Amino acid sequence: MDYADTECIIGQLDDSDSGSLHLDDITGTVAVPAPQLWSPNPQLRQYADSIDATTKPDTTSRTCPFSLGKFAYISKQALVIIPAMFFFAIGTGIYIPVFTEIMKMRVCQIVMNYTDEFCAVVGRDDQFRQANLAVQRTTTSYIMYATLGAAVPGVVFTFLMGSWSDRYGRKTPMAVPCFGYFCQSILLLFVAYFHLHPAYLVASAFLAAMFGGWTMFFMGYNSYVGDHTTEENRSAVLAIGAGTFGVGVSVGQLTGTALLKHRGFAAPFWLFSAMLFASFVYILLVADEHAKFKEKPAKGLEMSGSMKAGSFFKVKGIRDNWALLRQERTGNRRTYIYLLLGSYFLMIMCLENEFTILQLLVEFPPLSWTILQLGTFSSIQGVVSCMAISLMVPVFKKVFKMRDTAIGIVAGLSAIACVFLYAIAVKSWMLYLAVVVGVIRQLSFVAVQATLIHLVGETDVGKTMSVVGSVQAVGMIVGSLMFSNIFKATAHWWPGFTFAVQAFMLLAPLATFCLIDSTRA
């Protein structure tokens, strides 16, 4: 390690919150006192050389942060992938409300055999209460089947892809799902133009999942960020990505609902296909792999593209993931990993199934919103929330010196307050108040991801994110099954009861963050 690299370490140490470099801030107490001057220090140089001898960090992708004062710690290389995330998010934002709306319409027209005139106003007139409830319940069932179809194949492929991406790179697990969604958009256009049965909508979700779906995309994205960041800046970059995704979803929802109102179902799906194709092309042509994936293998160990593809289906990837979970670790780290994965599962169940239940809640009495009102609300919610989380992580980390787990506590409280307000909402202003109190709830996901990467180490980022992605997909399945049935059973006496259940369940992740944070303190 040369003197310039040592100076980079010294600069990061001088800017730390405690004046020490903590080797293990979860369980250990070993700390190397940080020098206060920019002069060479024999102890520090000996420590730096030991790092170089064991881990050999890549200085081309993990460079010293560019100079922006206290917030000068965000890796430029990690931000290269953000536009792909933005395109993907816009497509997702278009898809979610329009998919639910076309499902409701096709259920009403084809399954329930109601007239087009009635289906156009279903849910807005309380005099047809029984018909409204029948459409609502049947639509919820079809959406549940679509969620299952979208998640189950993704769990399998993501679990296999984690170990594979640790060897061959992150672009493939990001690009392939985008192509799958592009294929799905073609089938959705057929449903829009030819008034096909809602079963085709379920099939379209399954088609996208056969290419890995959203679980594989986010596994690849989180692993890419993990490759190009350090513990110091990882949560900030993940927050920027989460903020970008939220803003993109909001833009997509507003655009998609406006196109739906004025141009019908086909126009939003055309834009959906364009956004996913743009993300696919950007990942292939612009995103840059980490230097460790560019090293040429030793002579005789080269692998062709077909050999790499074949290795994806080997059982070794699954064994590697299980070994990651069973591995013995210092102190209570393995217990904390299990607790964080369980907390992530509950958070996914509650927060990632939020929009579908919320859409069914607000489109029927007592709120009776139109799809355009819902799109406007979701856009405001997304933009405000995601701007807040992108800005608040640097403030939490650099100004208030908060650990990732402490950020998780604040975000957990925000999430509980938000879903509880959804549960008791009978007026529109109560939903907007929920937006305010829940403005940083998505940071709970960032806190879990950043803490997990720190606990397992950077050599197993891909496997870790594949496990996280699988937990995410299973959480979506279980949450969809559970909350769809709860909503169907309770909508007639308390439409918001589902959200009350979610508020209670989110107490468990909050307790996990408190436990780990108290240990780190």
319 vs 370: which has the higher pLDDT: 370
pLDDT for 38-61, tens place per residue?
344 444 444 444 444 444 444 443
pLDDT for 116-140, tens place per residue?
888 887 766 566 677 877 888 888 8
The number of CA neighbours under 13 Å toward the Cβ of 60 is: 8
Query: What secondary structure letter does DSSP report for 69?
Result: T
- Do residues 355 and 424 lie in contact, with contact meaning Cβ atoms separated by under 8 Å? no
pLDDT for 471-481, tens place per residue?
888 888 888 88
- Beta-carbon count within 10 A of 330 CB: 10
pLDDT for 239-297, tens place per residue?
888 888 888 988 898 899 899 989 999 999 999 999 999 999 999 999 888 877 766 55
Give the C-alpha separation, 152 to 149, whole Å.
Answer: 6
pLDDT of residue 318: 63
Lowest mean pLDDT, pick from 196-205, 304-313, 375-384: 304-313
Residue 376, CA distances (Å) to 136, 256, 373 in order: 22, 11, 5
- Average pLDDT for 333-345: 93
Beta strand ranges found along 236-289 (DSSP E)? none
- Do residues 122 and 114 lie in contact, with contact meaning Cβ atoms separated by under 8 Å? yes
Q: Nearest 5°: CA angle at 499, between 498 and 504?
A: 100
Beta strand ranges found along 65-185 (DSSP E)? none
pLDDT of residue 67: 38
- Average pLDDT for 387-398: 82
- Do residues 85 and 245 lie in contact, with contact meaning Cβ atoms separated by under 8 Å? yes
pLDDT of residue 314: 57
pLDDT for 348-375, tens place per residue?
999 887 877 887 788 777 788 877 788 7
Give the C-alpha separation, 21 to 10, whole Å.
Answer: 10
**All residues at 6 or more sequence positions from 269 whose CB lies less than 8 Å from its CB, including other chains:** 94, 98, 185, 188, 189, 192
3-state secondary structure 276-312: HHHHHHHHHHCCCCCHHHCCCCCCCCCCCHHHHHHHH
pLDDT at 20 over 90: no
pLDDT for 58-100, tens place per residue?
444 333 333 344 444 566 778 899 999 999 999 999 998 899 9
C-alpha gyration radius of the chain? 24
Classify the C-alpha dihedral 364-369-374-380 as positive or negative. Answer: negative
**All residues at 6 or more sequence positions from 66 whose CB lies less than 8 Å from its CB, including other chains:** 72, 76
The full set of domains in the chain, from first to last, is 3-54 (no CATH), 76-289+319-520 (1.20.1250.20)
Closest CA to 202 of 150, 272, 124, 254: 150
pLDDT of residue 309: 53
**All residues at 6 or more sequence positions from 223 whose CB lies less than 8 Å from its CB, including other chains:** 162, 165, 166, 170, 173, 461, 462, 465
Give the C-alpha separation, 186 to 272, whole Å.
Answer: 10
166 vs 280: which has the higher pLDDT: 280
Give the C-alpha separation, 214 to 150, whole Å.
Answer: 9
Token readout for 479 is: 């949450």
pLDDT at 301 over 80: no
pLDDT for 438-497, tens place per residue?
988 989 998 998 899 888 876 677 778 888 888 888 888 888 889 888 988 888 888 899
Lowest mean pLDDT, pick from 23-32, 149-158, 322-331: 23-32
Helix (H) or strand (E) holding 21: strand 20-22
Give the C-alpha separation, 8 to 21, whole Å.
Answer: 13
Instruction: Please tell me the pTM assigned to this model.
Output: 0.70
